[in-house]
Amino acid sequence: MGVYLSHPKTEKSSEDGENDRVRYGVSSMQGWRSTMEDAHAAYPNLDNATSFFGVYDGHGGKAVAKFCAKYLHEQVLKSEAYAAGDLGASLQRSFLRMDEMMCGQRGSRELAALGDKMQRVSSMIEGLIWSPRSAEANGPVDDWSSEQDSDYTGPTSGCTACVAVIRDNQLVVANAGDSRCVMSRGGQAYPMSKDHKPDHEHEKERILSAGGYVQFGRVNGSLNLARAIGDMELKQNKELPAERQIVTAHPDITAVCIRTYFLL
C-alpha cells in the first residue's frame, strides 16, 4: 500500500497541562500512515503573558513538521512585531521564516537530523505525535544566517501549520493549509480558520499567476494544498515574493476578543 499500512495504528497518546490562564489537552493517533508525520508545540508560558499552541500536519515526511514544532515559536518570540505587541504580524513573519531557515547547509543538516531521529525510534513509539519537550520556549535563538555556498533549496516535503496565541483577552490564530481551528462560544462552534485548497478562486488565481496549474484539485497535479510550509520545489519563482509563489507559507490571521470568567 505504499505509504499506507495494511491496518491502522489506533493507539492514542495524550497529554495535558495548565497554568493560571489556560488549560490544554493533546491527543494523537497515527492511523493508516506508515509513519507519524504530525507534530505539535504547546507552550502555555511562551512568556509571562502569552500562551502558544501549534499543530503541524506533515505530508511527504515528518521532518518539516518537527522543524516547525521546534523553531516556529522561537521565531515568534524573536520578531520585532512581537515585541511591539503585533501578534498577527509576528506570526506571519515566523511562518515565512521557516522556509528561509530550511534552506542552505544548516537547514539541510537540521532536517536530516530530525528525520533520522524518528527513524531510530521503535515501532511502539512511532504513533506518537512529536513535540519538542526538551526545548525551552524562551531559550536562545540562533541567527540562522544564510549559507550562500549551498545548493540546497529546501525540502520537497512540507506541513500545514495552524497556530493559536492567547494574550490577555485576545486570541490570534494563524493558519496555512487545511488544519482547522474552531472556537466554542456559548456552546456554538465558530471557525477560526479556513482551508486553503487549490481550486478556491483566490488560491487558484495566485497559483496560475505564479506559473503553476491546478489538476484534479491538486497543485501541479500533486499537492492538494495551496498553502504550506516547505514544498520548496513549488516556491522557486525568483521574480515573486514568498506570498505570491505557487504554494505559499503565508498564513491567514484571525483575531477575536475572548471573555474570561472568574468563579468566586
Return d(Cα 28, Cα 51) in angstroms, integer. Answer: 21
Backbone angles phi, psi at 50, to 5 degrees: -135, 140
Question: Quick check: is 205 in a domain?
Answer: no
pLDDT in tens, the chain (264 residues): 347 788 888 888 899 999 998 999 998 888 887 788 899 999 999 999 999 999 999 999 999 999 999 999 999 999 999 999 999 999 999 999 999 999 988 999 999 999 844 343 333 334 445 556 544 444 444 556 655 456 888 999 999 999 999 999 999 999 999 999 999 988 999 999 999 999 999 999 999 999 999 999 999 999 999 999 999 999 999 999 999 999 999 999 999 998 754 444
What pLDDT, on the 0 to 100 scale, is given for residue 139? 46
What pLDDT, on the 0 to 100 scale, is given for residue 111? 93
Nearest CA to 94 out of 85, 108, 82 is that of 82
Neighbour-count burial of 61, counting CB atoms closer than 10 A to its CB (0-12 exposed, 13-18 middle, 19+ buried): buried
What pLDDT, on the 0 to 100 scale, is given for residue 143? 58
Residue 13 has, within 13 A of its CA and on its CB side, a CA count of: 17
Domain count, the chain: 1
Question: Quick check: is 229 in a domain?
Answer: no
What pLDDT, on the 0 to 100 scale, is given for residue 123? 31
Instruction: Assign residue 74 the CATH number of its domain.
Output: 3.60.40.10
Question: Quick check: is 16 in a domain?
Answer: no
Biggest CA-to-CA distance, the chain = 62
Look up residue 213 and give its three cell numbers: 496549474
Question: Quick check: is 58 in a domain?
Answer: yes
Question: Quick check: is 220 in a domain?
Answer: no
What pLDDT, on the 0 to 100 scale, is given for residue 119? 40
What pLDDT, on the 0 to 100 scale, is given for residue 110? 92
Question: Quick check: is 45 in a domain?
Answer: yes
Question: Quick check: is 241 in a domain?
Answer: no
Tell me which DSSP letter residue 247 carries.
S
List the domain range (segments joined by +) for residue 85.
22-132+151-194+251-257
Question: Quick check: is 214 in a domain?
Answer: no
